[in-house]
Structure formats: C-alpha cells, structure tokens
Amino acid sequence: MIRLVMLATIVAFSTNTQAAPETYLIDNSQTTSQFSLKYLGISSQTHNFDKVSGKVIFDPVSKTGSAEVNIDASSVNTGHSSLNNQLQTAAFFDTANYPAIIFKSSQMKLDGDQTSMAGELTIKGVTKPVTLTISGFICAQDQTFKVESCGAQATVTVKRSDFNMGKFSFIASNEITLNMAIKAVKAQTYQQIASRDPGK
C-alpha cells in the first residue's frame, strides 16, 4: 500500500514538472512595433506599425519556446498620411502585394534577463535569417484583467537593401532597426481580454 502511494506521488510530481508548453496570443492593444532610421545622415526618426498579431509558445520548465509575429505593413504610421502612402508603394513595403512582415522562430532559449532568438524575417516577400535580441522576458499575472501573460522587448537591425527596399539611400539610411514591445496573453483567456477591450 505504501509503495502504491509513493508511486502515485511520483507520477503526480512528474506530471506537474513536465507540463506542456503554453500558447500565448499577442495582444495588439498592449503591443508596440516600431522601426527607426536616419534621414540625411543627421536625424533619427521612429515610426510605428499599429497592427501586430501572432503567438508565443513557451515551456516554463525547459525555458525554451517559439514565436511567430505578423506585422500589418499597411498599418505603418508616421504621423503623416502622405509618407504613410509612400511607404506602402512598390519602392518600399509594397503592401498591395506583400501585406505582412513576418518573423518566425523555433529557437528561443532564455538565459537570465536577456537572450537571443534566431529565426527568419520576411519583408516584401524576401526571407532572411536574423537574430533578435530579447530582453525583459517575463510571464506573470496581469493585474488589470487577472490573466496570465508574457512580455518582452525585441530588437533587430537589418538592411533595407536585403529586402528589395534599398531605394533613396541618399535620403534614408540603409540600416533600419525594428523594435517591438510585446505582450501576449494565455490563449485560453485571450477572448476574455478581447471582450473587455472595445478598441480591439
């Protein structure tokens, strides 16, 4: 009898420590996506993408996971409608043919507060290997909606010319930095957030 109790305890403990990875869906209302570049080699300017979606799969035991981030390129927001329209033309993001900027990775490994995530970035139909620098990754209870969520800061610098967007380099720098502050909510409770937020 004692052996059966011990066996049951071991099985229960193993089940808890080998919990399946959790899926978190990106909450667009609490996520920011920006890109910055230099104009005329002097001033640095930062612009936004207003629509971001995707998911993060995270295993808290092994501290590994994967991610997929989809940025709506047509949601580019510079604060000036004429520049927004220009950035959506074929010379730049060509949103009529390539509406999404996509990052995919299956190689997330946490190491303290900062880590990196190797993956593939697709812009304007061109896919290149990149490594994002991840900082401040944390999963905790959301104090507003009382649901579990994860957040992190991700950044990477790429060259426009690598993605067929190298025109007008005498005005805008070839290098651009993508910067995202992501918040993702556990999938089972994502609709709870969406139903409470009329802006979603």
Distances in whole angstroms, Cα of residue 106 to Cα of each of 33, 58, 65, 178: 21, 10, 6, 19
**pLDDT tens track for 119-165:** 999 999 999 999 999 999 888 888 777 788 999 999 999 999 999 99
Per the CB < 8 A criterion, the answer to whether 146 and 156 are in contact is: no
Please state the φ and ψ torsions of residue 3, each to the nearest 5 degrees: -65, -40
At 121 the three-state DSSP class reads strand
**pLDDT tens track for 157-200:** 999 999 999 988 888 999 999 999 999 999 888 776 666 554 44
**For the chain, what are the domain ranges?**
20-196
CB atoms within 10 A of CB 19: 10
Q: Tell me the H-state helices in the chain.
A: 2-17, 81-87, 190-196
**pLDDT tens track for 44-71:** 999 999 999 999 999 988 888 899 999 9
pTM above 0.75, yes or no: yes
CATH code linked to domain 20-196: 2.40.128.110
